[in-house]
Structure 1
Amino acid sequence: MSYQVDFKNVDTVGLTSSPVATAFAGLRANEARYFWNKYKVVFTTEPAAERPDLVARVATILKERDLVLPYRPLEVADLTVDGVRWTYVFYENGLAINILYTLAAGGKRAVGFKLTDGIEVPAELADKFKFAHQKSALAGVIRGSFFVIKGTYDD
């Protein structure tokens, strides 16, 4: 069952098993606010179990950096806006990964990592990435990093 993320009344729907559910819901709402403010698009998530193809897509792209994450995916989102496909996976530990993938050749393509306020940098990422801090009224302090995608993943 899909969930239209409300960035005005933050709700933990779909994230309740996370040890940082409230802050994580704020991070997800922060993403929803971004899409609404920039594109006027409603950010909708689905249970990860209903979309294993999206979890697999993210896992395949992460292999570019030899990353295999042992975390349980809770929710996913997939939307295409202005020629860019955005795929999200929200993991139970409070990690959110998004893939920005421009559909046209030569466009921007990157993997973004966002850490929920209150979690440590996962060991799999700690030695490979530096994280910048961003303050959010909805999510507290969000730490983020990214890498540029080198391969082609059209599906």
Structure 2
Amino acid sequence: MSYVVDFTDVSTVGLESSPVADALAGLRANEARYFKNKYDHVFTVEPASEAAETVEWVHRILREERDLVISSPALEATAFEVEGYRMAYVFYESGLSINVMYATDDAGKRAVGFKLSDGMEVPAELATRFKFARQRSKLAGTIRGSYFTIKNEY
């Protein structure tokens, strides 16, 4: 069942099993606010089991680009297109959020972003490979993030 993420009344719906559910809900709401304000897009997620194609696409990119496998279970995912970009988000039980920004034309940007919810440790599979910058968010507290550029076609 789909869930429209509300960034004015933050809810942990769908994220209850996460040990950092409140922070992860804030991170998800932060993304929803960004897409609403920048693109007038309503950020809607669904359980990972119902978004298996999106989760697999993200996991394939991680595997083929950086030989990465995320150990935490995926809770929710979403995929949509805005202004020439295919976007995908996967939210994990650990508090990790991974997004893929994939330009639909060959000249555009293509990248994978990682965001860590406030209060979670850096996952072991990412700790030695990426440095994380910090940013503050009213909805999510302190967000730590990193990214890499996608080199191949997906």
TM-score (norm 2): 0.98
Cα shift at 1:51: 1.4
Distance in 2, matches of 1:96 and 1:2, equals 18
- Give the match for residue 94 of structure 1: 95
Deviation per residue, 1:74-104 (Å, 9 max, x gap): 0001110001011000000000000000001
AA paired with 1:108?
K
- Give the match for residue 45 of structure 1: 45
Deviation per residue, 1:98-134 (Å, 9 max, x gap): 0000001121000000000000111100110000001
Distance in 2, matches of 1:147 and 1:45, equals 24
> Given that residues 51 and 78 in structure 2 are in contact (C-alpha distance below 8 angstroms), is that contact kept between their aligned partners in structure 1?
no
CA RMSD, Structure 1 to Structure 2 (Å): 0.5
The total of aligned residue pairs comes to 153
1:134 aligns with 2:128: no
- Give the match for residue 117 of structure 2: 116
Distance in 2, matches of 1:39 and 1:132, equals 25
AA paired with 1:92?
E
In the alignment, structure 1 segments of 5+ residues that lack a partner are none
Distance in 2, matches of 1:125 and 1:38, equals 29
1:151 aligns with 2:152: yes
Q: Which runs of 4+ in 1 moved over 2 A?
A: none
SS of the residue corresponding to residue 34 of structure 2 reads helix
- Give the match for residue 80 of structure 2: 79
In the alignment, structure 2 segments of 5+ residues that lack a partner are none
